[in-house]
Amino acid sequence: MMTVVTHVSIEPGKEAAWDAAFRERISAVRKQPGWISVQLCASAQAPNQRVVIGTWENRAAWEAWHTTDVFQRTRHDLEGSQIAERQTWWHDVILNEHR
């Protein structure tokens, strides 16, 4: 299992549109083979900053997701509101606990 953490900076005033496009994307990922979970976090200090934490069975499943129609369609909306290149980090999951 792997987790990908992505940091995104959104143009101020476009946060709601970005969040809506991301929600559209996430409504479709539930059917994607290999997807496990996702969190979308907004910074308490900077309301235009987002952190996306996605967990996948493996990186190949995540890469396959990037080729889907819904991912490509929402990519334009999301990237059009970003003011800086997103930063991404991959992590092997060692422990995954939930309440």
87-92 and 35-42 strand pairing: unpaired
In contact, 17 and 81? CB cutoff 8 Å? yes
The CATH number of the structural domain formed by 2-92 is 3.30.70.100
Q: How confident is the prediction along the chain (99 residues), in pLDDT tens digits per residue? A: 999 999 999 999 999 999 999 999 999 999 999 999 999 999 999 999 999 999 999 999 999 999 999 898 888 888 888 888 889 999 999 998 888
